[in-house]
Amino acid sequence: MLESRSHSSTLIVLLIILSVILGCYLFRSDIKLGHIWQKISRFAVGQEIRFNTAQFQEIQTEHFKIKYTNTDDDYVKMIADSAELAYSQVSNKMNTDGKKKTTMVVYPDSRSLAQCFGWDKNEKALGVYWAGTIRILSPHEWLKQAYNEEEFQTDGPLVHEYVHLIVDDMTGGNYNRWWTEGVAQYIEKQITGFEFEDPQDISAGQLYTFRELDKNFDELDQQISYWESRQAVEFIASQYGEEKIYTVMDHLAQGDTLNQAIEKATGTDFNNFAYQCYQYMEKH
Ligand SMILES: [Zn+2]
């Protein structure tokens, strides 16, 4: 108890120091506030992981620092190899070459993964990206066939979560939930072939508007909101060219809103873009 209290106070002091340094820096430069917030949250979450996984074991690969428990002693090599594979596949596809090591935490069960986010313990997720870090559920918990590396690489969360990290990096943290979910699924489908099941018999009236996707992504029907997110990104790629996905992210990095970034990248008024995009969704 005492230990965790002293950890929290150390964290608060470090955060204050960091904020002051960054605050001074801000006055002398035109660094975007979003970039600063991204740095602070990554730092804070990095510290939180360091404290909360102090009892975990750790291995390092060229691009990852992987923390895991005894449950995954037999799986950690497979996880490490698959993480490096996901790194090279996503880096090739998105034309990036991140030099910094990414921290990945492997939780032994859904309950402990959910706990670290304060979620309902019944929440089922195979992976989560948050502030520069990737957290995954032990493959031991969900693989249909034990130790099946191919199943882990195709149906597992590594490519998807790593794309979230690249979107965060490319945009300086300035993005909407639907955008990052759309890009992650779009790239994942190309690399692994994986796609979430399409929602059944969806009619045009049941589709969410972009405003709804922007505002309450997590409260919406996840099957529909994820499907729409992927469709919107696919629409940009097929109608305007895949490179426009990256142009949108360049504009986001400059501080534009997502709607402004899409307008600039596609050269289309956003309402017109949305109209065409929903027509595209109705056909798919
Ligand atoms: Zn995702």
Q: Which CATH class is domain 2-169?
A: alpha beta
CA 20 to centroid of ligand 1, rounded, Å: 33
Of 189, 187, 194, nearest in space to 170 by CA: 187
**Interval between CA 128 and ligand 1 midpoint (Å):** 7
Name residues of the chain where pLDDT drops below 50: 1-6, 24, 28-30
**pLDDT value at residue 1:** 40
Q: How many CA atoms lie within 13 A of 159 on its CB side?
A: 28
Q: What is the pLDDT of residue 2?
A: 38
Residue 276 pLDDT: 96
Report the pLDDT value the prediction gives residue 6, as an integer from 0 to 100: 46
- Ligand 1 centroid vs 73 CA: distance in angstroms? 26
Distance 235 CA to ligand 1 centre (A): 19
Query: Would you say 273 and 266 are in contact if contact means Cβ atoms under 8 Å apart?
Result: yes
Res 16: pLDDT: 58
What distance in angstroms lies between residue 164's CA and the mean position of ligand 1's atoms?
Answer: 7
pLDDT at site 26: 52
Q: How far is the CA of 2 from the centre of ligand 1 (A)?
A: 36
The domain spans of the chain are 2-169, 174-283
CA distance 108 to 141: 8
